[in-house]
Structure 1
Amino acid sequence: MAVRVVVACGSGVATSQTVASKVNRMLKEKGVDAAVEAVDLKSVDRYIDGSAAYITIVKNTKEYPIPVINGIAFLTGVGKDKEFEKLLKAIEDFKVR
């Protein structure tokens, strides 16, 4: 079964879908079996349980029990590699739980 990664922006439509597809493509290129789901901000709490990581597009002030990844990096390219490495580690750590 694929590991789940959640991506959220305000509405769960445009920006989170863009980031989700970019991250999906990057994970596939690395051969990582993960399902990246774009959701709206209000739905995040329902998806956190059972997810390996949360990629946020908005400023995050809430604490989550899983790693929170900066989604802006995937939009701008600035710091993308660092955030992607954090995501890969989160997925690996999730698999060994």
Structure 2
Amino acid sequence: MSKKVIVACGSGIATSKMVAQKITKLLEERDVEADVQAAEVKDLDEALEGAVAYVPVVKTEKDYDVPTINGVAFLTGMGQEDELDRLVEVLS
């Protein structure tokens, strides 16, 4: 069973889906299997159940007890490799 990774933005539509797809592709390139899902910030409590990592694309009010990876890095490309390395480590 794949480990679950949640990517969240304000609406859970365009940005988080784009980042989730990008992360999925990058992980596949490294032969790392994961179930990367996009979610809305308002649904985070439920979405994070069973997740091994959280990738926020927006700043959230709340801290979650899950390793957090900087999602903005996947949007801008700046620091992306470092954040991808952190995510791969969490998934290992």
Amino acid in structure 2 at the alignment position of 1:8: A
Number of equivalent positions:
92
Where in structure 1 are there 5+ consecutive unaligned residues?
93-97
Q: Secondary structure at the match of 1:70?
A: coil
TM-score (norm 2): 0.95
For residues 39 and 67 of structure 1, the distance between their equivalents in structure 2, rounded to whole angstroms, comes to: 16
**What RMSD in Å do the two structures reach over aligned CA positions?**
0.9
Which residue is 2:59 aligned to? Answer: 59
Where in structure 2 are there 5+ consecutive unaligned residues?
none
For residues 57 and 9 of structure 1, the distance between their equivalents in structure 2, rounded to whole angstroms, comes to: 5
TM-score (norm 1): 0.90
Which residue is 1:88 aligned to? Answer: 88
Which of structure 1's runs of 4+ aligned residues deviate more than 3 A?
none
Which residue is 1:95 aligned to? Answer: none
Which residue is 2:50 aligned to? Answer: 50
Find out whether 1:73 has 2:73 as its counterpart.
yes
Deviates more, 1:10-19 or 1:83-92: 83-92
Identity of aligned residues (%): 45
